[in-house]
Chain A
Amino acid sequence: MAVNEISSFSGRNIWKGFGKTSLFRGLSITITKGERVLLIGPNGSGKSTLLKILAGIMHPEKGDFILNGNPVAHAPYNLIGYMGHSPMLYSPLSVTENLAITASLTNSHSSIQSLLERLNLSKYVDHRISELSQGTAFRVSLCRAILHNPQLLLLDEPTASFDEDATNRLKEYLNHWNSSGDRCGFIIATHDVRRLCSIANRIIVLKRGEIVKDSSGTFDDEDIVSLYLDAQLT
Protein backbone atom coordinates (compact mmCIF):
# COMPACT_ATOMS: atom_id res chain seq x y z
CA MET A 1 0.00 0.00 0.00
CA ALA A 2 1.40 3.42 -0.95
CA VAL A 3 2.48 5.57 1.95
CA ASN A 4 1.56 9.24 1.63
CA GLU A 5 2.92 10.70 4.82
CA ILE A 6 5.72 10.19 7.27
CA SER A 7 4.90 10.31 10.97
CA SER A 8 8.21 8.75 11.96
CA PHE A 9 11.26 7.44 10.15
CA SER A 10 14.13 5.53 11.76
CA GLY A 11 17.46 4.17 10.67
CA ARG A 12 18.49 1.46 13.16
CA ASN A 13 21.79 -0.32 13.75
CA ILE A 14 23.47 1.28 10.75
CA TRP A 15 26.93 0.05 9.87
CA LYS A 16 28.99 1.75 7.18
CA GLY A 17 32.69 1.80 6.43
CA PHE A 18 34.92 3.19 3.71
CA GLY A 19 37.86 0.99 2.83
CA LYS A 20 39.81 0.44 6.03
CA THR A 21 37.80 2.97 8.03
CA SER A 22 34.64 1.96 9.80
CA LEU A 23 32.43 5.05 10.21
CA PHE A 24 29.09 3.93 11.62
CA ARG A 25 29.05 1.01 14.01
CA GLY A 26 25.44 0.42 14.90
CA LEU A 27 24.19 4.00 14.76
CA SER A 28 20.46 4.58 15.21
CA ILE A 29 18.46 7.72 14.53
CA THR A 30 14.74 8.52 14.53
CA ILE A 31 12.89 11.57 13.29
CA THR A 32 9.25 12.09 14.17
CA LYS A 33 6.62 14.51 12.99
CA GLY A 34 7.30 18.11 13.85
CA GLU A 35 11.02 17.68 14.44
CA ARG A 36 13.37 20.21 12.89
CA VAL A 37 16.81 18.73 13.29
CA LEU A 38 20.23 20.26 12.89
CA LEU A 39 22.95 17.65 12.44
CA ILE A 40 26.28 19.12 13.44
CA GLY A 41 29.79 17.81 13.96
CA PRO A 42 33.38 18.16 12.84
CA ASN A 43 34.54 17.24 9.35
CA GLY A 44 34.55 13.49 8.80
CA SER A 45 31.99 12.82 11.52
CA GLY A 46 29.59 11.22 9.03
CA LYS A 47 26.89 13.91 8.60
CA SER A 48 26.77 13.67 4.78
CA THR A 49 27.04 9.89 4.83
CA LEU A 50 24.14 9.61 7.28
CA LEU A 51 21.92 11.84 5.15
CA LYS A 52 22.77 9.85 2.00
CA ILE A 53 21.92 6.61 3.77
CA LEU A 54 18.61 8.00 5.00
CA ALA A 55 17.85 9.39 1.52
CA GLY A 56 18.42 5.94 0.01
CA ILE A 57 21.26 6.86 -2.33
CA MET A 58 23.91 5.07 -0.30
CA HIS A 59 23.67 1.51 0.95
CA PRO A 60 24.78 0.79 4.50
CA GLU A 61 26.60 -2.47 5.13
CA LYS A 62 24.01 -3.32 7.74
CA GLY A 63 20.95 -1.55 9.02
CA ASP A 64 17.17 -1.47 9.12
CA PHE A 65 14.77 1.30 8.23
CA ILE A 66 11.39 1.76 9.88
CA LEU A 67 8.77 3.99 8.30
CA ASN A 68 5.64 4.70 10.37
CA GLY A 69 6.35 1.54 12.37
CA ASN A 70 6.84 -0.69 9.33
CA PRO A 71 10.17 -2.00 8.04
CA VAL A 72 11.18 -0.68 4.61
CA ALA A 73 14.28 -0.98 2.41
CA HIS A 74 14.69 2.80 2.61
CA ALA A 75 12.36 5.78 2.85
CA PRO A 76 10.19 6.12 -0.27
CA TYR A 77 11.79 8.59 -2.68
CA ASN A 78 8.52 10.42 -3.33
CA LEU A 79 8.34 11.45 0.33
CA ILE A 80 11.96 12.57 0.70
CA GLY A 81 13.57 15.74 -0.56
CA TYR A 82 17.36 15.55 -0.60
CA MET A 83 19.92 18.20 -1.42
CA GLY A 84 23.57 17.24 -1.36
CA HIS A 85 27.03 18.54 -2.10
CA SER A 86 26.36 18.53 -5.87
CA PRO A 87 23.48 20.35 -7.55
CA MET A 88 22.29 17.12 -9.25
CA LEU A 89 21.27 19.02 -12.38
CA TYR A 90 22.08 18.67 -16.08
CA SER A 91 24.41 21.52 -17.00
CA PRO A 92 23.41 21.82 -20.72
CA LEU A 93 19.71 22.12 -19.82
CA SER A 94 17.95 25.20 -18.48
CA VAL A 95 16.58 25.70 -14.98
CA THR A 96 13.01 25.13 -16.18
CA GLU A 97 13.97 22.06 -18.19
CA ASN A 98 15.73 20.47 -15.23
CA LEU A 99 12.81 21.14 -12.92
CA ALA A 100 10.34 19.93 -15.55
CA ILE A 101 12.18 16.58 -15.66
CA THR A 102 11.84 16.24 -11.89
CA ALA A 103 8.19 17.31 -12.01
CA SER A 104 7.41 14.78 -14.72
CA LEU A 105 9.21 11.89 -13.03
CA THR A 106 7.72 12.62 -9.60
CA ASN A 107 4.27 13.34 -11.03
CA SER A 108 4.36 16.66 -9.22
CA HIS A 109 1.67 19.27 -9.81
CA SER A 110 3.52 22.10 -8.11
CA SER A 111 4.03 25.23 -10.11
CA ILE A 112 7.68 25.57 -11.10
CA GLN A 113 7.21 29.29 -11.72
CA SER A 114 5.82 30.06 -8.26
CA LEU A 115 8.57 28.02 -6.61
CA LEU A 116 11.25 29.88 -8.53
CA GLU A 117 9.65 33.19 -7.57
CA ARG A 118 9.62 32.22 -3.92
CA LEU A 119 13.35 31.55 -3.99
CA ASN A 120 14.06 34.63 -6.11
CA LEU A 121 15.11 32.61 -9.15
CA SER A 122 12.59 33.92 -11.71
CA LYS A 123 15.20 35.75 -13.72
CA TYR A 124 17.16 32.50 -14.28
CA VAL A 125 14.26 30.56 -15.76
CA ASP A 126 15.80 30.08 -19.19
CA HIS A 127 19.44 30.07 -18.14
CA ARG A 128 21.41 26.88 -18.53
CA ILE A 129 22.81 25.45 -15.35
CA SER A 130 26.32 25.81 -16.76
CA GLU A 131 25.72 29.58 -16.94
CA LEU A 132 24.78 29.92 -13.28
CA SER A 133 27.02 30.66 -10.34
CA GLN A 134 27.52 27.86 -7.85
CA GLY A 135 25.26 29.48 -5.27
CA THR A 136 22.45 29.98 -7.77
CA ALA A 137 22.81 26.40 -9.01
CA PHE A 138 22.40 25.16 -5.45
CA ARG A 139 19.29 27.29 -5.02
CA VAL A 140 17.90 25.58 -8.12
CA SER A 141 18.92 22.28 -6.55
CA LEU A 142 16.86 23.21 -3.50
CA CYS A 143 13.89 23.79 -5.82
CA ARG A 144 14.47 20.33 -7.28
CA ALA A 145 14.44 18.84 -3.78
CA ILE A 146 11.18 20.47 -2.70
CA LEU A 147 9.28 20.46 -5.99
CA HIS A 148 7.36 17.26 -5.26
CA ASN A 149 6.22 18.41 -1.80
CA PRO A 150 8.23 15.91 0.21
CA GLN A 151 7.31 14.92 3.74
CA LEU A 152 10.90 14.84 4.97
CA LEU A 153 13.69 17.15 3.90
CA LEU A 154 17.32 16.08 4.11
CA LEU A 155 19.60 19.00 3.35
CA ASP A 156 23.37 18.67 3.38
CA GLU A 157 25.09 22.01 3.97
CA PRO A 158 22.36 23.95 2.11
CA THR A 159 23.77 27.36 2.98
CA ALA A 160 27.39 26.58 2.12
CA SER A 161 27.15 28.47 -1.19
CA PHE A 162 24.31 30.82 -0.17
CA ASP A 163 24.58 34.52 0.44
CA GLU A 164 22.71 36.27 3.26
CA ASP A 165 19.57 36.82 1.19
CA ALA A 166 19.41 33.22 0.03
CA THR A 167 19.97 31.95 3.59
CA ASN A 168 17.19 34.16 4.91
CA ARG A 169 14.83 32.96 2.17
CA LEU A 170 15.69 29.38 3.03
CA LYS A 171 15.04 30.00 6.73
CA GLU A 172 11.75 31.71 5.92
CA TYR A 173 10.76 28.83 3.65
CA LEU A 174 11.64 26.20 6.24
CA ASN A 175 9.86 28.11 9.00
CA HIS A 176 6.62 28.02 7.02
CA TRP A 177 7.24 24.64 5.47
CA ASN A 178 5.62 22.62 8.17
CA SER A 179 3.45 25.30 9.75
CA SER A 180 0.27 23.38 8.92
CA GLY A 181 1.69 20.20 10.46
CA ASP A 182 1.01 18.03 7.42
CA ARG A 183 4.68 17.21 6.84
CA CYS A 184 7.18 15.31 8.96
CA GLY A 185 10.18 17.56 9.37
CA PHE A 186 13.71 18.16 8.20
CA ILE A 187 17.28 17.22 9.00
CA ILE A 188 19.91 19.77 8.01
CA ALA A 189 23.58 18.86 8.19
CA THR A 190 25.46 22.08 8.66
CA HIS A 191 28.41 23.96 10.05
CA ASP A 192 26.31 27.15 9.92
CA VAL A 193 24.75 26.44 13.31
CA ARG A 194 24.45 30.01 14.52
CA ARG A 195 22.43 31.16 11.49
CA LEU A 196 20.14 28.12 11.46
CA CYS A 197 19.68 27.33 15.16
CA SER A 198 16.61 29.57 15.37
CA ILE A 199 14.61 27.24 13.08
CA ALA A 200 15.63 24.03 14.85
CA ASN A 201 13.98 22.30 17.79
CA ARG A 202 16.50 19.45 18.00
CA ILE A 203 20.26 19.36 17.58
CA ILE A 204 22.22 16.14 17.10
CA VAL A 205 25.97 16.24 17.45
CA LEU A 206 27.87 13.61 15.51
CA LYS A 207 31.48 12.74 16.18
CA ARG A 208 33.46 9.97 14.48
CA GLY A 209 30.24 8.27 13.40
CA GLU A 210 28.59 8.34 16.82
CA ILE A 211 25.83 10.51 18.23
CA VAL A 212 27.47 12.20 21.21
CA LYS A 213 24.70 14.68 22.00
CA ASP A 214 21.01 14.81 21.15
CA SER A 215 19.22 17.85 22.57
CA SER A 216 15.68 19.06 22.03
CA GLY A 217 14.22 22.50 22.68
CA THR A 218 15.06 25.98 21.52
CA PHE A 219 18.64 27.05 21.18
CA ASP A 220 20.59 30.22 21.56
CA ASP A 221 24.25 31.02 21.07
CA GLU A 222 25.27 29.88 24.52
CA ASP A 223 23.58 26.52 23.99
CA ILE A 224 25.42 26.07 20.71
CA VAL A 225 28.80 26.85 22.23
CA SER A 226 28.12 24.48 25.10
CA LEU A 227 27.03 21.71 22.71
CA TYR A 228 30.19 22.10 20.65
CA LEU A 229 32.43 22.19 23.70
CA ASP A 230 30.78 19.08 25.12
CA ALA A 231 31.29 17.31 21.82
CA GLN A 232 34.96 18.27 21.63
CA LEU A 233 35.71 17.16 25.18
CA THR A 234 34.01 13.74 24.99
Chain B
Amino acid sequence: MDLKKIFWNNTALSRSFENISLLVVFFLVAYANYMVFLAVPNERIMGPVQRIFYFHVGCAVATYMAVAFLFFASLGYLTTRSALMDILGESATEIALVFCSIVMATGMIWGKAAWNTAFRWEPRLVSFLILLVILVAIVVLRRFGNPQKTPLNSAVMGILAAINVPIVVFSVKLLPASSQLHPQVVQNRGLRDPLFVKAMIIGIIAMCCFQLILLWIRVRLGLAESQLDELETEKLVN
Protein backbone atom coordinates (compact mmCIF):
# COMPACT_ATOMS: atom_id res chain seq x y z
CA MET B 1 0.00 0.00 0.00
CA ASP B 2 1.74 3.17 -1.18
CA LEU B 3 0.69 5.77 1.35
CA LYS B 4 2.25 8.49 -0.72
CA LYS B 5 -0.02 7.62 -3.65
CA ILE B 6 -3.10 7.50 -1.43
CA PHE B 7 -2.35 10.94 -0.07
CA TRP B 8 -1.29 12.54 -3.26
CA ASN B 9 -2.97 11.01 -6.25
CA ASN B 10 -5.73 13.33 -7.26
CA THR B 11 -8.24 10.57 -7.76
CA ALA B 12 -11.98 10.94 -7.41
CA LEU B 13 -11.74 8.95 -4.18
CA SER B 14 -9.18 11.25 -2.57
CA ARG B 15 -11.03 14.36 -3.74
CA SER B 16 -14.34 13.07 -2.39
CA PHE B 17 -12.71 12.09 0.90
CA GLU B 18 -11.20 15.54 1.26
CA ASN B 19 -14.39 17.40 0.37
CA ILE B 20 -16.53 15.31 2.69
CA SER B 21 -14.01 15.74 5.52
CA LEU B 22 -13.93 19.50 5.05
CA LEU B 23 -17.72 19.58 5.12
CA VAL B 24 -17.89 17.45 8.26
CA VAL B 25 -15.31 19.61 10.05
CA PHE B 26 -17.10 22.78 8.95
CA PHE B 27 -20.35 21.56 10.44
CA LEU B 28 -18.67 20.31 13.60
CA VAL B 29 -16.98 23.65 14.20
CA ALA B 30 -20.20 25.48 13.37
CA TYR B 31 -22.08 23.25 15.81
CA ALA B 32 -19.43 23.82 18.46
CA ASN B 33 -19.79 27.56 17.96
CA TYR B 34 -23.56 27.24 18.25
CA MET B 35 -23.23 25.23 21.48
CA VAL B 36 -20.71 27.63 23.00
CA PHE B 37 -22.28 30.93 22.07
CA LEU B 38 -25.97 30.14 21.92
CA ALA B 39 -26.82 26.90 23.69
CA VAL B 40 -24.93 26.93 26.99
CA PRO B 41 -25.98 29.36 29.69
CA ASN B 42 -23.58 31.86 31.27
CA GLU B 43 -21.38 30.46 34.00
CA ARG B 44 -22.58 31.66 37.38
CA ILE B 45 -19.36 33.30 38.64
CA MET B 46 -17.26 34.24 35.61
CA GLY B 47 -20.06 35.08 33.24
CA PRO B 48 -19.71 35.05 29.45
CA VAL B 49 -15.89 35.05 29.47
CA GLN B 50 -16.01 31.45 30.70
CA ARG B 51 -17.14 30.35 27.21
CA ILE B 52 -13.54 30.58 26.03
CA PHE B 53 -12.92 27.49 28.18
CA TYR B 54 -14.58 25.22 25.59
CA PHE B 55 -12.15 26.22 22.83
CA HIS B 56 -9.23 26.40 25.26
CA VAL B 57 -9.65 22.79 26.35
CA GLY B 58 -10.37 21.61 22.80
CA CYS B 59 -7.20 23.25 21.51
CA ALA B 60 -5.19 21.76 24.39
CA VAL B 61 -6.35 18.25 23.46
CA ALA B 62 -5.64 18.99 19.78
CA THR B 63 -2.12 20.13 20.74
CA TYR B 64 -1.43 16.87 22.56
CA MET B 65 -2.77 14.96 19.55
CA ALA B 66 -0.48 16.86 17.21
CA VAL B 67 2.50 16.20 19.49
CA ALA B 68 1.59 12.49 19.45
CA PHE B 69 1.65 12.60 15.63
CA LEU B 70 5.03 14.36 15.86
CA PHE B 71 6.37 11.61 18.10
CA PHE B 72 5.25 8.76 15.85
CA ALA B 73 6.37 10.55 12.70
CA SER B 74 9.80 11.21 14.25
CA LEU B 75 10.11 7.60 15.35
CA GLY B 76 8.93 6.50 11.91
CA TYR B 77 11.53 8.66 10.20
CA LEU B 78 14.39 7.40 12.39
CA THR B 79 13.37 3.82 11.61
CA THR B 80 12.51 4.05 7.93
CA ARG B 81 14.08 7.34 6.71
CA SER B 82 10.86 7.81 4.76
CA ALA B 83 10.25 11.24 3.23
CA LEU B 84 6.54 10.90 4.07
CA MET B 85 7.40 10.56 7.78
CA ASP B 86 9.54 13.68 7.57
CA ILE B 87 6.71 15.62 5.92
CA LEU B 88 4.26 14.32 8.55
CA GLY B 89 6.66 15.37 11.32
CA GLU B 90 7.07 18.84 9.83
CA SER B 91 3.31 19.25 9.44
CA ALA B 92 2.60 17.98 12.97
CA THR B 93 5.16 20.45 14.39
CA GLU B 94 3.53 23.41 12.68
CA ILE B 95 0.00 22.34 13.59
CA ALA B 96 1.03 21.70 17.20
CA LEU B 97 2.65 25.15 17.35
CA VAL B 98 -0.51 26.82 16.07
CA PHE B 99 -2.79 25.04 18.53
CA CYS B 100 -0.36 25.53 21.42
CA SER B 101 -0.29 29.26 20.65
CA ILE B 102 -4.09 29.30 20.67
CA VAL B 103 -4.09 27.55 24.06
CA MET B 104 -1.68 30.12 25.50
CA ALA B 105 -3.60 33.04 23.99
CA THR B 106 -7.04 31.84 25.11
CA GLY B 107 -5.62 30.96 28.52
CA MET B 108 -4.19 34.46 28.89
CA ILE B 109 -7.44 36.09 27.76
CA TRP B 110 -9.40 33.98 30.21
CA GLY B 111 -6.90 34.56 33.00
CA LYS B 112 -6.87 38.33 32.50
CA ALA B 113 -10.64 38.56 32.38
CA ALA B 114 -11.37 36.14 35.21
CA TRP B 115 -8.47 36.69 37.65
CA ASN B 116 -6.90 39.94 36.40
CA THR B 117 -3.64 38.19 35.54
CA ALA B 118 -2.65 36.98 32.07
CA PHE B 119 -0.11 34.44 33.30
CA ARG B 120 0.70 32.77 36.57
CA TRP B 121 3.77 30.70 37.23
CA GLU B 122 1.95 27.53 38.00
CA PRO B 123 2.86 24.09 36.68
CA ARG B 124 0.24 23.50 33.99
CA LEU B 125 0.68 26.89 32.35
CA VAL B 126 4.46 26.63 32.56
CA SER B 127 4.38 23.15 31.00
CA PHE B 128 2.44 24.53 28.01
CA LEU B 129 4.80 27.47 27.76
CA ILE B 130 7.75 25.06 27.69
CA LEU B 131 6.04 23.03 24.97
CA LEU B 132 5.46 26.21 22.95
CA VAL B 133 9.12 27.18 23.17
CA ILE B 134 10.27 23.67 22.25
CA LEU B 135 8.01 23.69 19.18
CA VAL B 136 9.40 27.11 18.17
CA ALA B 137 12.91 25.65 18.56
CA ILE B 138 12.05 22.78 16.20
CA VAL B 139 10.65 25.23 13.63
CA VAL B 140 13.86 27.30 13.90
CA LEU B 141 15.93 24.13 13.47
CA ARG B 142 13.99 23.23 10.33
CA ARG B 143 14.41 26.74 8.99
CA PHE B 144 18.13 27.20 9.70
CA GLY B 145 19.43 23.66 9.96
CA ASN B 146 21.72 21.85 7.55
CA PRO B 147 19.28 20.95 4.73
CA GLN B 148 20.75 17.46 4.38
CA LYS B 149 20.51 16.68 8.07
CA THR B 150 17.35 18.65 8.91
CA PRO B 151 14.93 15.68 8.64
CA LEU B 152 17.08 13.56 10.96
CA ASN B 153 17.82 16.35 13.44
CA SER B 154 14.17 17.43 13.51
CA ALA B 155 13.14 13.84 14.18
CA VAL B 156 15.52 13.73 17.17
CA MET B 157 14.13 17.03 18.49
CA GLY B 158 10.58 15.81 17.87
CA ILE B 159 11.16 12.77 20.05
CA LEU B 160 12.71 14.86 22.81
CA ALA B 161 9.82 17.33 22.63
CA ALA B 162 7.21 14.57 22.75
CA ILE B 163 8.97 12.90 25.71
CA ASN B 164 8.86 16.18 27.59
CA VAL B 165 5.07 16.45 27.34
CA PRO B 166 4.00 13.42 29.41
CA ILE B 167 6.88 13.88 31.86
CA VAL B 168 5.97 17.48 32.57
CA VAL B 169 2.25 16.60 32.77
CA PHE B 170 3.12 13.78 35.17
CA SER B 171 5.39 16.05 37.20
CA VAL B 172 2.53 18.47 37.63
CA LYS B 173 0.64 15.80 39.51
CA LEU B 174 3.59 15.34 41.90
CA LEU B 175 3.38 18.94 43.01
CA PRO B 176 1.41 19.86 46.14
CA ALA B 177 -2.20 20.96 45.71
CA SER B 178 -1.34 24.45 46.91
CA SER B 179 0.75 25.09 43.79
CA GLN B 180 -1.98 23.87 41.42
CA LEU B 181 -3.52 27.23 40.60
CA HIS B 182 -4.88 26.24 37.19
CA PRO B 183 -8.62 25.57 37.44
CA GLN B 184 -9.26 21.86 37.81
CA VAL B 185 -12.73 22.15 36.32
CA VAL B 186 -13.30 18.59 35.19
CA GLN B 187 -11.53 16.88 38.09
CA ASN B 188 -13.43 18.97 40.63
CA ARG B 189 -16.70 18.21 38.86
CA GLY B 190 -17.24 21.89 38.05
CA LEU B 191 -19.41 21.16 35.01
CA ARG B 192 -22.74 20.64 36.72
CA ASP B 193 -25.03 21.48 33.82
CA PRO B 194 -25.15 18.65 31.24
CA LEU B 195 -25.07 21.32 28.53
CA PHE B 196 -21.64 22.41 29.81
CA VAL B 197 -20.37 18.86 29.48
CA LYS B 198 -21.88 18.50 26.03
CA ALA B 199 -20.38 21.81 24.86
CA MET B 200 -16.95 20.78 26.17
CA ILE B 201 -17.08 17.40 24.42
CA ILE B 202 -18.29 18.97 21.15
CA GLY B 203 -15.55 21.59 21.45
CA ILE B 204 -12.89 18.91 21.92
CA ILE B 205 -14.18 16.81 19.01
CA ALA B 206 -14.47 19.85 16.73
CA MET B 207 -10.93 21.09 17.50
CA CYS B 208 -9.45 17.61 17.12
CA CYS B 209 -11.17 17.08 13.76
CA PHE B 210 -10.08 20.57 12.70
CA GLN B 211 -6.53 19.65 13.66
CA LEU B 212 -6.73 16.39 11.67
CA ILE B 213 -7.99 18.06 8.50
CA LEU B 214 -5.33 20.78 8.79
CA LEU B 215 -2.71 18.05 9.17
CA TRP B 216 -4.06 16.23 6.11
CA ILE B 217 -3.97 19.37 3.99
CA ARG B 218 -0.48 20.32 5.22
CA VAL B 219 0.89 16.83 4.49
CA ARG B 220 -0.57 16.97 0.98
CA LEU B 221 1.05 20.35 0.52
CA GLY B 222 4.38 18.90 1.67
CA LEU B 223 4.00 15.98 -0.75
CA ALA B 224 3.21 18.40 -3.57
CA GLU B 225 6.39 20.36 -2.77
CA SER B 226 8.37 17.14 -2.73
CA GLN B 227 6.88 16.05 -6.06
CA LEU B 228 7.75 19.43 -7.56
CA ASP B 229 11.34 19.10 -6.32
CA GLU B 230 11.61 15.66 -7.95
CA LEU B 231 10.27 16.97 -11.26
CA GLU B 232 12.70 19.91 -11.17
CA THR B 233 15.58 17.54 -10.46
CA GLU B 234 14.64 15.26 -13.35
CA LYS B 235 14.48 18.29 -15.61
CA LEU B 236 17.98 19.35 -14.50
CA VAL B 237 19.41 15.86 -15.00
CA ASN B 238 17.85 15.48 -18.45
Chain B residue at minimal CB-CB distance from A22: B233
Cross-chain contact B229 with A18 (CB below 8 angstroms): no
B152–chain A nearest beta-carbon distance, Å: 9
What are the residues of chain B within 8 A of A19 when measuring CB–CB?
147-148
Q: Which residue of A lies closest to B147 (CB)?
A: A19
Considering only CB atoms, which chain B residue lies closest to A208 in the complex? Answer: B237
**Which A-chain residue is minimally distant from B233 (CB atoms)?**
A20
**Contact residues on A (Cβ < 8 Å of other chain), bracket:** under 10
| Smallest CB gap from A21: residue in B | B233
A220 within 8 A of B: no
Count the A-B residue pairs with Cβ separation under 8 angstroms: how many? 14
Contact partners of A202 in chain B: CB under 8 A:
none
Is B112 on the interface with A (CB-CB < 8 A)?
Answer: no
Complex Cα distance, B229 from A221, in Å, reads 41
Bound together, the chains give a CA A20 to CA B236 distance in angstroms of 10
**Are A20 and B232 in contact (CB-based, < 8 A)?**
yes
Do the beta carbons of A20 and B148 come within 8 Å of each other? no
* A61 located at the interface, meaning its Cβ lies under 8 Å from any Cβ of chain B in the complex: yes
Q: Residue on A with the closest CB to B150? A: A19
Interface size on B, residues (CB 8 A): 9
The answer to whether the Cβ of A59 comes within 8 Å of any Cβ in the partner chain is yes
Q: Is B81 an interface residue (CB 8 A)?
A: yes
B81 and A59 within 8 A (CB): yes
Contact with A along B139-176 (1 / 0, CB 8 A): 00000000110000000000000000000000000000
Q: Within the assembled complex, what's the spacing in Å between the Cα atoms of A59 and B232?
A: 24
Find chain B residues with CB under 8 A from A208 CB. 237
Is the beta-carbon distance between B148 and A18 smaller than 8 angstroms?
Answer: yes
Per-residue B-contact encoding for A53-95, CB less than 8 Å = 1, 0 else: 0000001010000000000000000000000000000000000
Tell me if A61 and B81 are in contact (CB < 8 A): yes
Give chain A residues whose Cβ lies under 8 Å from the Cβ of B229: 20
Across the interface, name the chain B residue whose C-beta is closest to A20.
B229
- Cα–Cα distance between A18 and B147 once the two chains are bound (Å): 8
Give Cα A37–Cα B152 distance, bound, in whole angstroms.
33
Closest to B228 in A: A20
How long is the Cα–Cα vector from A200 to B148 in the complex, in angstroms? 34
For the complex formed, measure the closest distance between the CB of B149 and the CB atoms of chain A, giving whole angstroms.
Answer: 10
Report the bound CA distance from A19 to B146 in whole Å.
10
- With a CB–CB cut-off of 8 A, which chain B residues contact A21? 233, 236
Q: Whole-angstrom distance between the alpha carbons of A26 and B217 in the complex? A: 31
Enumerate B200-235 residues with CB–CB distance to A below 8 Å: 229-230, 232-233
Which residues of the other chain, A, contact B230 by a CB distance below 8 angstroms? 20, 22
Interface mask (B101-124 → A, CB under 8 Å = 1, otherwise 0): 000000000000000000000000
- Min Cβ gap B229→A in Å is 4
B233 / chain A contacts, CB cutoff of 8 Å: 20-22
Please report A residues at the B interface, Cβ cutoff 8 Å.
Answer: 18-22, 59, 61, 208
Residues of B within 8 A of A (CB): 81, 147-148, 229-230, 232-233, 236-237
List the 10 closest pairs (A to B, CB-CB), nearest first: A20-B229, A19-B147, A20-B233, A18-B148, A61-B81, A21-B233, A22-B233, A19-B148, A20-B232, A59-B81
- A selection of 11 A-B contacts at a CB cut-off of 8 Å is A18-B148, A19-B147, A19-B148, A20-B229, A20-B230, A20-B232, A20-B233, A21-B233, A21-B236, A22-B233, A61-B81
